[in-house]
């Protein structure tokens, strides 16, 4: 097993206007994988497919080596899940929800659950219907962690939470991962939050995965290059040319997979490089989305 989660050739259609086609995604064992994308990119749909809540038209999904959906019951026993929308019975109290959840998980850690409840300042007698959004977010994370999963799948787990609650939830998550070595797939639109906690990143847009790489490679390997005198026909490149913009006096290239020695490539094609700009995670994310949309609209690199 090379990945905790592996998706290969996935195809899924939702109505007439949205489609996931030929999606390949790998969450390495022991990694915290940040799943980035704008609203409507397909992140939640992909997560639902991984969790066996939707059935693909084609392709394969394996979680911890188990086929989804054929082996979903065995897979779910090893996976903690925080969905985009709460899935709790609102008439239950916090304590009742914990006991209810424990009944379905043989690895449930009652001591951990109690400690998290106390750390999160959750009143065990309070009905879920009367919890704030922040308290509900804490309870969802508690339920996912206390089952001691090997894999955590988290869909926007801190969306709408205030900074203090986000810190508490993420601290509990990172403490658990450090102690148990779980693999994590976490989607979010809070780019800087993922930048601080993830060691892998995948960028999705309109049903396609635009990039997937270690976080350090993403942050150091995406560059905006300003140059001139590049020929129209380019020889094979040592990096990936995401976008070539010739609408300015000097060309603007967006590249990924960049390393400093690659500057020699431009000497070989007679180009003059004026500037190589570093991009932070958010800038790189935005540029990849924009360039991908331009390329699809124009049918190629411009």
pLDDT digits (tens, 9 = 90+) for 135-170: 999 999 999 999 999 999 999 999 888 999 999 999
Tell me the mean pLDDT in the region 58-80: 96
Q: What is the DSSP string of 194-217?
A: HHHH-SEEEEEETTEEEEEEEHHH
Residue where the block lists tokens 């390393």: 259
At 10, which helix (H) or strand (E)?
strand 3-14
Architecture of the domain made up of 29-52+72-213: 3-Layer(aba) Sandwich (3.40)
Tell me the mean pLDDT in the region 62-75: 96
What is the Cα 254 distance to its own chain's centre?
22
Domain boundaries, the chain: 29-52+72-213, 216-298
Cβ of 164: how many Cβ atoms within 10 Å?
Answer: 9
What's the pTM?
0.88
Q: What is the DSSP string of 129-159?
A: GG--HHHHHHHHHHHHHHT--SEEEEESTTT
Q: Which of 138, 146, 140 is nearest to 113 (CA)?
A: 146
Q: Give the integer Cα–Cα distance in Å for 158 and 197.
A: 13
Query: 91 falls in which pLDDT band (50, 70, 90)?
Result: very high
Tell me the mean pLDDT in the region 191-214: 90
Q: Does 300 score more than 60 pLDDT?
A: no
């Amino acid at each position: 097993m090379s990945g905790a989660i592996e998706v290969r050739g996935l195809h899924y259609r939702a109505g007439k206007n949205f489609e996931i086609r030929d999606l390949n995604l790998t969450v390495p064992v022991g990694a915290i994988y940040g799943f980035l994308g704008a609203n409507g990119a397909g992140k939640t749909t992909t997560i639902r497919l991984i969790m066996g809540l939707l059935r693909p038209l084609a392709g394969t999904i394996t979680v911890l080596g188990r086929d989804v959906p054929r082996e979903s019951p065995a897979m779910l026993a090893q996976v903690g899940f925080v969905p985009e929308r709460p899935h709790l019975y609102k008439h239950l109290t916090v304590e009742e929800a914990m006991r209810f959840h424990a009944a379905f998980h043989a690895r449930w850690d009652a001591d951990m659950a109690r400690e998290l409840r106390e750390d999160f300042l959750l009143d065990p007698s309070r009905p879920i219907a009367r919890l704030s959004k922040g308290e509900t977010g804490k309870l969802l994370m508690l339920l996912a962690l206390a089952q001691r999963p090997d894999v955590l799948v988290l869909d926007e787990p801190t969306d709408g939470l205030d900074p203090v609650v986000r810190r508490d939830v993420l601290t509990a998550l990172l403490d658990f991962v450090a102690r148990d070595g779980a693999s994590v797939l976490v989607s979010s639109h809070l780019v800087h939050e993922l930048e601080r906690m993830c060691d892998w990143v995948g960028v999705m847009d309109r049903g396609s995965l635009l990039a997937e790489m270690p976080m350090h490679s993403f942050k150091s390997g995406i560059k905006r290059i300003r140059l001139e005198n590049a020929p129209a026909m380019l020889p094979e490149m040592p990096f990936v040319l995401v976008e070539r913009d010739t609408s300015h006096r000097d060309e603007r290239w967006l590249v990924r997979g960049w390393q400093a020695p690659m500057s020699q490539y431009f000497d070989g094609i007679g180009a003059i490089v004026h500037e190589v700009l570093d991009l932070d995670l958010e800038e790189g994310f935005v540029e990849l989305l924009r360039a991908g949309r331009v390329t699809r609209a124009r049918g190629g690199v411009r």
